[in-house]
A and B are shown apart, each in its own frame.
Chain A
Amino acid sequence: MNLDFESSWVQLSMAPSRFELWTRRLHVDLPLFAGLMTLSGVASVILYSASGQSVDVLLRQAVRLGLALIVMLAIAQIHPRHLRFYSPLLYGMGVLLLTAVLVIGEIGKGAQRWLDLGILRFQPSEILKLAVPMMVAWYLSERPLPPSLRHVAVSGLAIAIPVGLIAKQPDLGTAMLVGAAGAAVIFLAGLRWLYLFAVGALGAALLPVVWHFLHDYQRDRVLMFLNPEADPLGRGYHIIQSKIAIGSGGFYGKGWLHGTQAQLEFLPEKSTDFIFAVVAEEFGLLGCLGLLGIYLFIIGRCLYIVTQAQDSYARLLSGALTVTFFVYVFVNVGMVVGILPVVGVPLPLVSYGGTSMVTLLAGFGILMSIQTHRKLVAD
């Protein structure tokens, strides 16, 4: 069966309106764009409350969003062919910058994640969030699929290098997300279940070794997740307060700006990592379901785009980006509701802070590029 045929059939059956043609020329996928805009709108309402009604915070977040949208639109203009061509280059650059950051950090004797380029300060690890899946997709799409064990091993190495460098910064959360993005590509490429289970078993066996190499604060986080009550004065405080905030929100919530946990400063990091607890407290279960619904809509639209993609590279990359986006949401919400350990991962597009927003929207830019550069009629 031919996917091209299918898509062209869809296109033929519904004659494009002028508006659709216009958005297509701008390379904007309208449903996805609408989903993202809805999410950002809702996010600003939440952030206003979580930040203690700070207009200043909202404005700064809006500026970041604007910048991120420009990046998204710019990337959407690039043909997937070119994205593929530049994948190894971007990857190489990213790894180089990561090394630079580590070396500079070594000299400065301290943790270092930032690279200061005078006017611009950014985290190279953010580039890798996109560059790693791009690289692996580039590599595997050139080879027969499902991939052979050798090709899987090469891909695994391509993932492990930047992940190791990021984990050394130390930024365990980002390292995990980058690793997940690369792994998603391999999985989608058709990694045999047998290998998958083997890797899973190996991972489980290596867990004690990993534990050995973790920093004290990272161990604390895991231990505290397992038993938050052990240290209610210090690190367990976040989880306890977060659970109280969520639980006390109930079905309907306490109302916007009326969450006592959030407004009376019981809840730590409430405008960044723990912002989902504010949603849960003020808007209740309904609000949470609504927010998760928006996320599901965005992910659903992305999955649709993935099915429409016309070559292996586009399919693997778009699929991996979609899965990773869900992983972001899941890791953050899972942490806030207490089913996953506390890992410093923000709630995508809702948490305050700009570093991840640009990367996230750049990823959606890639999806839009893939969707809008399709050939409409089969050759």
Chain B
Amino acid sequence: MKYYASRRDALESRVFLNRLAFSAAFVLLGTLGMVVRLIYLQVVGHEHYAALSKDNRVKIAPLPPTRGMIYDRNGEVIADNIPSYSLEIVPERVENLAETLARLQTLLDLSEEDLRRFWHLKEQRKSFESIPVKMQLSEEQIARFAVKQPYFPGVQINARMIRTYPYGELTAHVVGYVGRISEADLKRLDPSAYSGTYHVGKTGIEKTYESLLHGKTGYQEVETNVQGRSIGVLDTVEPVPGADLQLSLDIGLQRIAFDALGEYNGAVVALEPATGRVLVFASKPSFDPNPFVSGIGKRDYDALQNSPERPLYNRALRGVYPPGSTVKPFEGLAGLAVAGLDPTRRVSCPGYFQLPNSAHQYRDWRKGGHGAVDLKSAITQSCDVYFYKLALSIGIDALSEFMGRFGFGQRTGIDLPDEKAGVYPSREWKRKHSKYPWFPGETVITGIGQGYVLITPVQLARAVAVLANRGRFVVPRLLDGKRAAGASADLVNPPPEGRDIDLPPEYWNTVIDAMIDVVHSGRGTAKGISAGLTYRIAGKTGTAQVFSVGQGQKYQESQVSKKMRDHALFIAFAPAEQPRIAVAVLVENGGHGGSVAAPVARAVIDRYLRGEAP
């Protein structure tokens, strides 16, 4: 036994020593490999690498791509790139950075903010990268610096392309703007794709299609001497410019909408119903996006931010408003489709409505009431009592479900960032948001688009387009096409399949006929805009309460402060028989939909259908 064990031991030792010898050989071979590689780099390749490193420093200089341009549907440039001169510093080449900056500050009137931003950027950037101190230098500043240039080693003026928006406030809420890349942006961007680029889309189309617009960064291997002067280019990989985008927006039409709103604040959204393409996307008041490109000053920004008119607020996309009576045609459809409503049955309207066992009066906008009304005349005259009763008979959950099919209370999926969803309430919604149950009275006021109902203008415009399409569902879309090759036009939020609303043609006819009467009949609430029309408009007025009037009191426009006045709404599509445009207009504190909002819609429709200024 012992003998066996020792023989076993001997074998074990022999094998072990054998393996250890192999390990030692591995160590020697590995070391040899490293040494050979070192000799290759340090002796054979020494001259090559020494040349790269010695006096001549090879720098990889990024070549930022040119940002894609943005055009409107007629080829008008709405986002352009223009050359701009900026003062830039390569910190590694400056002996005393703080002192140099102080001298520059007195020479060129740099603001404290410019300096702060520079230090900030310096933290984020790779070594030997040129960092802008001030963009968009004036001719005078360029001249003043040019004279003193020799006293500022490491500081230079570079020409860069900078974004400009020729239509300024007309496009601010659609195209958005680019701004300096912030620390938050850097976290989500690929730093090597953005080296040499100082701007990124912050809002609007510029943000949505950032990946298409940006392009691909190229680079140059540059030889520079100790002073940092470029003495030769070794290799260049050209940048690939960003794709040029064409939007469906019509800038002329956009201007008409802005002008038609006049002094009022509000929003106008117009779509091509068949495709969902956006023709007008106006939010007023607006602002000039150009100062945001080079970095807006704090005072100017605060002024915009704190203005009571809220110009930075994108009303068309993010503003939520009660839709008022504009929901009535949709509700009529709901009645026909889900509650077996007989459109010819007349309902009497005494000018108010009361729930059983309740003293509360839900008033009609017309004091004496509308008499006996059927569905069509209820829409044409915008009878509130009819729709109070209709909403009750449909029931809130069925109503909410049906309105949801038109996209009420849902994001439309338009290709703009940060859209608001709004609300179309149901019992379940209330359970989640309130400790109280759903009250029948809330169904009543939901019937006239009040209460919890909050929609965005773009949402309303989409619903109108679906109505104009007689049920074919569309998603509003601004991007129409792109010009540059190479990039793929991945659609943001592709249109959903199977969301079309399938109803018998006579239902659509009834409601659309009523909407034509709104404009073209003597009792229509928007008859004021029918004069001189060569085609027919189907429309619906709406007035959304901002201020609630007490029981038994009378709302008097003249006595209510401007901010508390009702919002005026109007939805329309035309020509009624073959719709080519669908519009939603919201006029904040405009009073009556028929008198204030409808003319705005008419102006836009007229211009679009006739192709000329009204």
Q: Is B337 an interface residue (CB 8 A)?
A: no
Q: Using Cβ atoms and an 8 Å threshold, which residues of chain B touch A248?
A: 46, 49-50, 52-54
Encode B3-20 as 1/0 by CB contact (under 8 A) with A.
000001011110111111
Main secondary structure, interface of B, reads helix
Q: Is A3 an interface residue (CB 8 A)?
A: yes
**CB <8 Å contact, A292 and B20:** no
Q: Is A174 an interface residue (CB 8 A)?
A: no
Q: Is A67 an interface residue (CB 8 A)?
A: no
Q: Using Cβ atoms and an 8 Å threshold, which residues of chain B touch A266?
A: 53, 57, 127-128
Q: Give which listed residue, A250, A307, A323, A333, contacts B34 with CB less than 8 A.
A: A333
Chain A proximity of B342: nearest CB distance (Å): 57
- Complex CA distance for A1 and B7, rounded to whole angstroms: 10
Asked if A190 meets B34 with Cβ closer than 8 Å, knowing A244-B52, A247-B41, A248-B46, the reply is no
**CB <8 Å contact, B41 and A337:** yes
**CB <8 Å contact, A244 and B38:** no
Q: Using Cβ atoms and an 8 Å threshold, which residues of chain A touch B22?
A: 187
**CB <8 Å contact, B35 and A234:** no
Asked if A265 meets B15 with Cβ closer than 8 Å, knowing A248-B54, A284-B42, the reply is no
**CB <8 Å contact, B16 and A144:** no
**CB <8 Å contact, A296 and B42:** no
How many A-B contacts are there with CB distance less than 8 Å? 147
Q: Is B191 an interface residue (CB 8 A)?
A: yes
Q: Is A233 an interface residue (CB 8 A)?
A: yes
**CB <8 Å contact, A247 and B12:** no
Q: Using Cβ atoms and an 8 Å threshold, which residues of chain B touch A316?
A: 16
Main secondary structure, interface of A, reads helix
Q: Is B113 an interface residue (CB 8 A)?
A: no
Asked if A288 meets B20 with Cβ closer than 8 Å, knowing A246-B49, A248-B46, A323-B26, the reply is no
- Complex CA distance for A267 and B33, rounded to whole angstroms: 23
**CB <8 Å contact, A3 and B192:** no
Q: Using Cβ atoms and an 8 Å threshold, which residues of chain B touch A234?
A: 190-192
Query: What class of interface size applies to chain B in its complex with A?
Result: 35 or more
**CB <8 Å contact, B53 and A289:** no
Q: Using Cβ atoms and an 8 Å threshold, which residues of chain A touch B372?
A: none
Q: Give which listed residue, B10, B12, B18, B30, contacts A312 with CB less than 8 A.
A: B12
Encode A339-360 as 1/0 by CB contact (under 8 A) with B.
1000000000000000000000
Q: Which of A272-290 contact B (CB under 8 A)?
A: 280, 284-285, 288-289
Asked if A289 meets B17 with Cβ closer than 8 Å, knowing A233-B195, A247-B46, the reply is no
Q: Give which listed residue, B13, B23, B52, contacts A322 with CB less than 8 A.
A: B23
Asked if A233 meets B42 with Cβ closer than 8 Å, knowing A188-B19, A260-B53, the reply is no
Q: Is B560 an interface residue (CB 8 A)?
A: no
- Complex CA distance for A330 and B23, rounded to whole angstroms: 13
Chain A proximity of B55: nearest CB distance (Å): 9
Which residue of chain A is the closest to B28 with respect to CB atoms? A296
**CB <8 Å contact, A289 and B35:** yes
Q: Is A326 an interface residue (CB 8 A)?
A: yes
**CB <8 Å contact, A244 and B49:** yes
- Complex CA distance for A190 and B13, rounded to whole angstroms: 10
Q: Is A128 an interface residue (CB 8 A)?
A: no
Chain A proximity of B258: nearest CB distance (Å): 43
Q: Is B259 an interface residue (CB 8 A)?
A: no
Q: Is B62 an interface residue (CB 8 A)?
A: yes
Q: Using Cβ atoms and an 8 Å threshold, which residues of chain B touch A52?
A: none
A-B contact pairs, 29 of them (CB 8 A): A144-B8, A146-B11, A146-B15, A187-B19, A232-B60, A233-B217, A244-B53, A246-B41, A246-B49, A247-B41, A250-B43, A260-B54, A266-B127, A266-B128, A280-B38, A285-B39, A288-B35, A289-B38, A296-B27, A303-B27, A312-B16, A315-B16, A316-B16, A322-B23, A323-B23, A334-B34, A337-B34, A338-B37, A339-B37
> Which residue numbers of B lie inside 8 Å of A, CB to CB?
8, 10-13, 15-20, 22-24, 26-27, 30-31, 33-35, 37-39, 41-43, 45-46, 48-50, 52-54, 57-58, 60, 62, 92, 127-128, 190-192, 195, 217, 219, 221
For the A-B complex with A247-B46, A284-B42 known, give 13 more contacts whose Cβ atoms are closer than 8 Å: A231-B192, A232-B221, A243-B41, A244-B49, A247-B41, A250-B46, A260-B54, A288-B42, A289-B38, A292-B34, A303-B24, A337-B37, A338-B41
> Which residue numbers of A lie inside 8 Å of B, CB to CB?
1, 3, 144-146, 184, 187-190, 231-235, 237, 243-251, 260-261, 264-266, 280, 284-285, 288-289, 292, 296, 299, 303, 306-307, 312, 315-316, 319, 322-323, 326, 330, 333-334, 337-339
